[in-house]
A and B are shown apart, each in its own frame.
Chain A
Amino acid sequence: MLKNKIVLSLFLLIVTTSLVAQEPKMVAIARGKFVPLYGATTKTPVEVKPFYIDVYPVTNAQYLTFLKKYPENSRSRIKGIFADKSYLSQWESDFSFGKVNLSNAPVTNVSWFTAKKYCECQGGRLPTMDEWEYVAMADEKRIDARTKESFNKYIMSWYEKPNTYANPVGETFKNYWGVYDMHGLVWEWTGDFNSIFLSGESRKDKDTDKNLFCGSASVNATDLMNYAAFMRYAFRGSLKARYTTKNLGFRCAKDKK
């Protein structure tokens, strides 16, 4: 009887550890409201329902595991409409990220289609832009650090650091929710990245929707915060779903039932 129990618990232990190894680590994000820079045409807050999000962006090693299981997404077999020519172009071959790329560096040069596919195959989805922005506004201690000058300066300093995509995940700060690398590593895909329509002519966009960007002459934390966030929206605005770029990775999310 006792022997059986030990065997059972051992079995359970193996199952759970293997589950943990398979399942990327996620954390729960509590329900909340915030006013995003874009997306809210009126200044009314957007509600974010509780959900789970990956602690780290998806790594080269994780993506390789996915490709081995779903080889139709590999570099040579992917259809052109789902990913452009630079898809995984930094990898050595279809099923090897090579020696120059770290196994625990974020996978980049992936399209929206492939990122979405990856998350769905893990039973998840890409986070929405509002979810992503909601998690990203937290610093180490606060849910919303967007008005903190040093926080915005940290975000903006990343724009001037070259080749951060080659760094391993988890080396930036751990935020309020326990999530890493929302800033300072790579850009990330969101499910509805193109829901904010930017014409590409930012000055014109400013005319049509005054809420989009406050370019007032005063210098305060709000302006800085806008600049930091604006870069993300501008970047997303330049993308198409099949595009892949070296500084763009992703992480997955999941509904909380």
Chain B
Amino acid sequence: MYTQFNLIQKSKRVAILFFLAIGIFACKENEEKDAKYYENIKMVGQKTAELTAPPFVPAPVGDRPAMKLIVNMEITEKEGEMVDGVKYTYWTFGGSVPGSFIRTRVGDEVEFHLKNHPDNKMPHNIDLHAVTGPGGGATSSLVAPGHEKVFSFKTLNPGLYVYHCATAPVGMHIANGMYGLILVEPEGGLAPVDKEYYIMQGDFYTKGSYGEQGNQPFDMEKAIKEQPDYVVFNGKVGALTGDKALTAKRGETVRIFMGNGGPNLVSSFHAIGEIFDKVHVEGGDLINKNVQTTLIPAGGAAIVELKVEVPGTFILVDHSIFRAFNKGALGMLKVEGEENKKVYSGTIQEGIYLPEGGTIQTMPKVAGTPKNTVAKTLAQQVVSGKALYGRTCSACHQAEGQGVPNAFPPLAKSDFLNANPDRAVNAVLHGLSGEVTVNGKKFNNVMTSQNLTDDEVSDVLTYVYNSWGNNKTIITPEKVKAIRAKPAPKAKDVHE
């Protein structure tokens, strides 16, 4: 009898516990806040949003409550430089490509003021992927030059979102640079990190091919064929290299808000020599860890985080790699600090390895005869040589000719160059591979043959010889022509 009672009691207790458990879970489910919750969230106060040009982002939202946020976004159509000597008319949100970074938290009511500058020729609008509503705001925001449109929306879903212009022809507006990112932080904000940066990839279509000088108009045909001349980070070649490189100190955690404006290409975002510790896949809630390359769709984004354990220059690329080295999709993250030999030793040993059948690589030749121009002065040669150097050589040999230790030999104060100008001409014309010794350091790498005209080779080498403490040799186009007429030298002769 007693045991029976006990059993009943027990089962009752179990049942109560069971219901309690369900109750707890039910409560927990309620705590999973949804769009409905954020729609009705209490808002406290209002302020004007801080907007920043890339590569910078506004201050984090932290644990502030939801509020009314006023965004003043001005559209300007203005001329900029795609790469040295190449002018392009950009259409911009906030004067930069990509457009100003907008930082909000979930539950904010954003009052968006879209202003079209009076000097502009085009009507524009904005489609924010963070908006829940027709056209993402585009239906309410078509604005004529010299006018302003206001609409407001509630941020219901946390994440990193692309915004862009959606005025016809949509592709052309996007191709001219009309895109940017809006971040909707979760309640309490993203976890604090040491450095935050803003990058967007974009593809550009110009009448002339890569590097062709002067004012380059948008080319609709290339855009439809999806054959860009430029694929770049932050609107131009070199926006994130040299003294514009992103910076961090060893041991810091860097967060990159990485978007892709397109209009056409998908980005395979990769940091050479680093691994993304954390990736908010596609800018959403899903977190992937230990990622080498993350795919960023056109009109999509990702938040990547990496702790930089080792000092050095880390190259950010679209790993569709010709885009990086031939079309501009290359940025740099410079990390300062003490060497960390535990993580990376540097070269420990160097030797010679000559496999069978190693050949020098060549670039395809473009049909047509090279253009001949009148003789240039030294100053003119240096000017055009500098532009060429920036486009063609600096990715490896670096902006000041300093090279990269153990990878790319320096051109600054280079004994190798100064000893033998013909050899330098040959290297540019025919490429160079195998071991060379430059300023006492051994290098063993491959330089491809460069597809340049006699004039271009003459300009770029004259620039190099007249820069960074070299011996001021002048390389004439005639000399280049003469060397080009001879057969390519054998590897043995080059390396001695």
Contacts and interface: CB of A to CB of B under 8 A. Distances in A.
B225 A238 contact: no
Interface residues of A, number: 41
B160 interface: no
A247 interface: yes
Interface string B146-166: 110000000000000000001
Contacts of A237: 123, 142
B399 to A, nearest CB: 30
B119 interface: yes
A243 interface: yes
A227 B219 CA distance: 12
Nearest to A157: B217
Q: Interface residue tally of chain B, by bracket?
A: 35 or more
B309 interface: no
B168 A247 contact: no
B398 interface: no
Nearest to A234: B168
Contacts of A157: 217
B122 interface: yes
Contact of B121 (A159, A224, A244): A159
Contacts of A158: 121
A217 interface: yes
A217 B138 CA distance: 24
Given A230-B169, A247-B121, A200 B141 contact: yes
Interface stretch (A51-59, A175-183, A201-209): A201-209
A246 B119 contact: yes
Contacts of B24: none
A244 B146 contact: yes
Interface in A77-97: 84, 86, 89
A200 B139 contact: yes
B119 A238 contact: no
Contacts of B79: 162
A121 interface: no
B145 interface: yes
Given A201-B135, A227-B220, A230-B168, A187 B143 contact: no
Interface string B347-369: 00000000000000000000000
B122 A202 contact: no
A163 interface: yes
Contacts of B135: 200-201, 203-204
A70 interface: no
Contact of A219 (B122, B169, B170, B225): B225
Given A157-B217, A243-B144, A162 B119 contact: yes
Interface string A232-248: 00110111100111111
Contact of A247 (B145, B172, B221): B145
Contact of A243 (B77, B147, B169, B215): B147
A213 interface: yes
A223 interface: yes
A84 B145 CA distance: 13
B140 interface: yes
A201 B220 contact: no
A223 B172 CA distance: 13
A231 interface: yes
Interface string A171-202: 00000000000000001000000000011111
B294 interface: no
Contacts of B122: 159, 231, 234-235
A200 to B, nearest CB: 3
Interface centre among B89, B142, B144 (most CB of A within 10 A): B144
B134 interface: yes
B218 interface: yes
B224 A235 contact: no
Contact of B144 (A159, A213, A239): A239
Interface centre among B120, B121, B224 (most CB of A within 10 A): B121
A156 interface: yes
List of 10 A-B pairs having minimum Cβ-Cβ separation, nearest first: A200-B142, A238-B123, A202-B168, A238-B144, A160-B89, A201-B135, A201-B139, A245-B145, A245-B146, A219-B221
Interface of A: 84, 86, 89, 109, 156-160, 162-163, 187, 198-206, 213, 217, 219, 223-224, 227, 230-231, 234-235, 237-240, 243-248
Given A86-B118, A200-B142, A237-B123, 10 more contacts: A159-B122, A162-B78, A201-B138, A203-B170, A217-B224, A239-B123, A246-B119, A246-B146, A247-B121, A247-B145
